[in-house]
């Protein structure tokens, strides 16, 4: 059976003619003269007017194309095309003869979509003719058949179901915070006195093992004397290890213990060292002060790895997983971006904002990301690989069920329920209901769905009334 050119070809021709008309390229007396002449000439010469998919699928093109496996699309000459227009009204006798010869009219339905049918032609209360329903137009498979002219006028378009990645960007604001695991304090485990402090202040960068202060403590001197006595006495084994263990329990720096072993002399004060690389956040020590056990003398943080805390809306939370890649764009550093990964999704929601907090670990080797800096985060959520997907516009969602219209060719469309998953980029993943390669309607599908629902309603109405055609209803739908 010959197929008609799809909506894209017709729309392109009309749009070109309309543009030429607007620009004055075509005389206004006959705006489509050029197009008509071209088609007529093509018909006389048997020229190609469009190209069709070689597998007979409802896909068309104005230009030559090839399939993914290299096959050329089939050229359609003008003589093989059929008109988009509905058949002209024939005289009553001719129409009756054609109906007997070809198709039989089953009944006439209300033109306004009301559940009202008639066995004979009639008009409604507004003077509109009832629409004839022929045998074969109301199949039992739930599909609906439309004429090529009606498909062209509604602007229906179909696209094949293919496999593609379904990704989306979740955007959320956040702030930079210190990594709690990279913060340490300098404190004493004994009571002592600060003899001197190194030339470092809040904000300075220090390195691990760098001297920060010199400390004197009677407890520390006593432990050092005990260890030195054990060494001089030639003690070995548990006795020597016990004396050294006492110094270690007081957190004596290892370089100070080695210096004691080398010189065999007890220093008046011992240099206290930085436990890690980082910036000094707090300095609470001055020369000559008395320091008790546990007093925080310095607080140091390493900013080469920072946290970014963002709040993600509750509806987007299922799309985020630990390990998901995130792009961080600091507002203070225009044009710069940093890559990180989701390290933790906090277990509780914020009841006031209905958001969940997410922790992102971001490398910061140059330390340009500073704590409390505002950032904008983009989470790359979606499927890991290609999945079966359709355009979001193809889905008719009633809330309780989702349906797509499958284009079965020859103007027939089948409503089919589908199961959906992730959405993103204008597409939605389909987990059940359609197969790869099937064509689904992506434009004007609600008009075809309305036609299908009307047919289902009429079928249910006639089934309720029995095999006899139903009587006409009154203006309000009540029976006379």
CATH number of the structural domain spanning residue 212:
2.40.50.100
Q: Domain boundary at 296, 328, 360, which?
A: 296
Q: Are 315 and 359 in the same domain? A: yes
Strands (E), 33-101: 48-52, 60-61, 74-77
CA end-to-end span of the chain, whole Å?
46
Q: Are 75 and 223 in the same domain?
A: no
Same domain (yes/no): 204, 335: no
Better-scored residue on pLDDT, 6 or 50: 50
pLDDT at 243 over 80: yes
Q: State how far the Cα of 278 lies from the Cα of 66, in Å rounded to an integer.
A: 62
Closest CA to 370 of 359, 381, 362, 380: 362
The predicted model gives 300-305 an average pLDDT of 95
Q: What is the mean pLDDT of residues 347-368?
A: 94
| pLDDT exceeds cutoff 90 at 308 | yes
Could you give the CA distance from residue 257 to residue 377 in angstroms, rounded to a whole number? 49
Residue 89 confidence (pLDDT)? 46
Alpha helices by DSSP H, 233-325: 238-249, 254-263
Q: Radius of gyration (Cα) for the chain, nearest Å?
A: 41
Within 10 angstroms of residue 428's Cβ, the number of other Cβ atoms is 23
Q: Are residues 413 and 428 both part of a single domain?
A: yes
- pLDDT value, residue 454: 52
The token pair at 36 is 């008509």
The helix/strand count (H/E) of the chain reads as 8, 29
Is the residue at 263 inside a domain? yes
Question: Binning pLDDT at 50, 70 and 90, where does residue 236 land?
Answer: confident
Instruction: Of 2-6, 25-29, 60-64, 103-107, give the range with the top mean pLDDT.
Output: 60-64
Cα 107 to Cα 119: distance, rounded to the nearest angstrom:
5
Q: What is the model's pLDDT at position 385?
A: 77
Mean pLDDT of 138-143: 57
Query: Is pLDDT at 244 greater than 60 in this prediction?
Result: yes
> Does residue 415 share a domain with residue 269?
no
Beta strands 205-206; 278-283: pairing state: antiparallel
CATH (domain of 378): 2.40.30.170
**Total of domains in the chain:** 4
Q: Is residue 459 predicted with pLDDT exceeding 70?
A: no
Lowest mean pLDDT segment, chosen from 112-116, 155-159, 366-370? 112-116
The 10s digit of each residue's pLDDT in 82-132 is: 444 444 444 544 554 454 446 678 788 777 766 678 888 988 888 888 888
What average pLDDT score do residues 195-221 get?
A: 95
Burial of 192 (0-12, 13-18, 19+ CB in 10 A): buried
pLDDT digits (tens, 9 = 90+) for 179-192: 999 999 999 999 99
Pick from 313, 337, 319, 312: nearest CA to 327: 337
Q: Is residue 108 part of a domain?
A: no
Asked if residue 478 is part of any domain, the answer here is no
Let me know: does 134 contact 104? Beta carbons within 8 Å: yes
Last residue in a domain, options 82, 103, 124: 82
Exposed/middle/buried for residue 336 (C-beta within 10 Å: 0-12, 13-18, 19+): exposed
The answer to whether residue 196 scores a pLDDT higher than 90 is yes
Residue 192 lies in a domain: yes
How high is the pLDDT of residue 466? 46
Domain range enclosing 264 = 188-296
Residue 143 pLDDT: 66
Same domain assignment for residues 282 and 217: yes
Residue 390's CATH number:
2.40.420.20
**Phi-psi label, residue 280: left if phi above 0, alpha if psi -120 to 50, beta otherwise:** beta
Residues 258 and 322 in one domain: no
What are the DSSP E strand ranges found in 261-411?
A: 270-273, 278-283, 290-291, 298-301, 305-313, 325-330, 338-350, 355-363, 374-382, 387-391, 396-397, 402-407
Q: Which of 242, 261, 296 is the last residue of a domain?
A: 296
**Which pLDDT score, from 0 to 100, does residue 365 have?**
92
Say if residues 298 and 280 touch (Cβ distance below 8 Å).
yes
Cα separations in angstroms, 469 against 128, 131, 143, 234, 479: 20, 14, 22, 119, 14
- 309 and 176 belong to one structural domain: yes
Coil vs helix vs strand at 308: strand
**Residue 143 counted as domain residue:** no
Across 360-386, b (16+ Cβ under 10 Å) vs e yields bbbebeeeebeeebebebebebbbeee
Using CA atoms, how far apart are residues 441 and 424, in angstroms rounded to an integer?
Answer: 19
Per the structure block, which two tokens stand in for 266? 């007890």
Torsions phi, psi for 373 (to 5 deg)? -75, 140
Pair 309, 409 in one domain: no
Query: Is 205 inside any structural domain?
Result: yes
Q: Which residue has the higher pLDDT, 263 or 86?
A: 263
Q: Do residues 288 and 271 share a domain?
A: yes
Residues 213 and 351 in one domain: no
What is the token pair recorded at 194?
């600060």
Residues 319-331, mean pLDDT to the nearest whole number: 92
Q: How many angstroms from the chain centroid is the CA of residue 28? A: 48
What percentage of the chain carries pLDDT values higher than 70?
A: 72
> Phi and psi for 152 in degrees, rounded to 5?
-65, -40
DSSP string, 184-218: EEE--SS-EEEEEE-S--TT-EE-TT-EEEEEE-H
Residue 75 lies in a domain: yes
Q: What pLDDT is stored for residue 186 in this prediction? A: 96
pLDDT at 470: 44
362 and 339 in contact (C-beta within 8 Å)?
Answer: yes
Of the listed ranges 2-11, 320-329, 352-361, 392-401, the least confidently predicted one is 2-11
Residues 250 and 282 in one domain: yes
Residue 111 falls inside a structural domain:
no
């Amino acid at each position: 059976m010959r197929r008609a050119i799809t909506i894209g070809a017709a729309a392109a021709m009309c749009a070109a003619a309309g543009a030429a008309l607007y620009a004055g390229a075509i005389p206004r007396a006959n705006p489509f003269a050029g197009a008509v002449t071209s088609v007529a000439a093509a018909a006389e010469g048997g020229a190609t007017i469009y190209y069709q998919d070689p597998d007979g699928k409802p896909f068309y093109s104005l230009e030559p194309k090839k399939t993914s496996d290299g096959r050329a699309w089939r050229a359609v000459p003008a003589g093989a095309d059929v008109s988009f227009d509905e058949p002209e009204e024939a005289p009553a006798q001719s129409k009756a003869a054609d109906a007997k010869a070809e198709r039989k009219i089953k009944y006439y339905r209300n033109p306004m979509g009301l559940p009202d049918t008639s066995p004979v032609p009639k008009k409604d209360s507004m003077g509109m003719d009832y629409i004839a329903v022929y045998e074969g137009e109301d199949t039992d498979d739930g599909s609906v058949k439309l004429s090529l002219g009606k498909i062209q006028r509604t602007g229906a378009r179909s696209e094949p179901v293919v496999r593609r990645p379904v990704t989306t960007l979740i955007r959320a604001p956040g702030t930079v915070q210190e990594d709690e695991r990279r913060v340490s304090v300098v404190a004493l485990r004994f009571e002592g006195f600060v003899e001197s402090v190194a030339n470092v202040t809040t904000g300075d960068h220090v390195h691990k093992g760098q001297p920060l202060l010199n400390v004197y403590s009677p407890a520390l001197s006593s432990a050092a004397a005990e260890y030195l006595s054990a060494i001089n006495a030639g003690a070995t084994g548990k006795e020597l290890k016990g004396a050294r263990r006492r110094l270690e329990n007081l957190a004596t720096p290892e370089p100070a213990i080695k210096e004691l072993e080398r010189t065999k002399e007890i220093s008046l004060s011992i240099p206290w060292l930085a436990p890690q690389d980082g910036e000094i956040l707090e300095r609470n020590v001055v020369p000559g002060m008395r320091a008790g056990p546990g007093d925080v003398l310095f607080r140091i943080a390493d900013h080469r790895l920072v946290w970014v805390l963002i709040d993600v809306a509750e509806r987007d939370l299922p799309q985020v997983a630990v390990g998901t890649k995130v792009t961080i764009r600091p507002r203070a550093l225009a044009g710069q971006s940093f890559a990180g990964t989701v390290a933790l999704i906090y277990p509780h929601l914020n009841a006031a904002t209905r958001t969940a907090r997410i922790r992102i670990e971001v490398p910061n080797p140059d330390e340009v990301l500073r704590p409390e800096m505002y950032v904008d985060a983009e989470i790359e959520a979606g499927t890991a690989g290609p999945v079966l997907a359709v355009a979001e516009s193809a889905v008719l969602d009633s809330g309780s069920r989702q349906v797509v219209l499958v284009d079965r060719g020859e103007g027939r469309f089948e409503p089919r329920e589908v199961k959906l998953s992730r959405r993103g980029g204008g597409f939605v993943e389909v987990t059940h209901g359609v197969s790869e390669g099937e064509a689904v309607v992506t434009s004007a599908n609600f008009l075809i769905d309305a036609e299908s629902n009307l047919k289902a309603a009429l079928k249910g109405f006639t089934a309720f009334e029995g095999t006899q055609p139903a009587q006409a209803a009154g203006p309000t739908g009540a029976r006379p």
